[in-house]
Amino acid sequence: MQEKTRELLKKFEQDYEISVSATEALTYWIIYARVRRADTGGTHHLHHGMKYVSGPGQDGNVLVLRDPFVSDAYSAEVWGPMETIDDFVRKALAQILADKTAAERGEEEGCGTSCA
């Protein structure tokens, strides 16, 4: 992963208060985000996890797991060409923001092209 991508992750965490980690392996990439849920009125803040899995040679196919520690449900999405983890990180950050915005507006989270 390039240094500018690491800096982008740090800036994203600071700007949006969303914890994000990126894992790069030989055959797969994983982005895990902990998004803060809407304020519950108490002092304890609830988070939910979002996990995005893809890799080189996957033709832009991404598995999206919402709350992976709560449920095994996932959706499959196509994000377009991604040659490197840097491409994957940029697209994942945009998707994380879109999902967060939709949740804040009370919109139902989508199921992509298929669910299990």
Cα separation, 95 vs 105, whole angstroms: 15
Q: How far is CA 25 from the centre of its chain?
A: 17
pLDDT at 110: 47
| pLDDT tens per residue, range 53-94 | 999 999 999 999 987 777 788 999 999 999 999 999 999 999
AA identity, residue 46: L
Total-model pTM:
0.81
pLDDT at 71: 78
pLDDT at 39: 56
What does pLDDT average to over the chain? 84
pLDDT higher than 50, residue 113: no
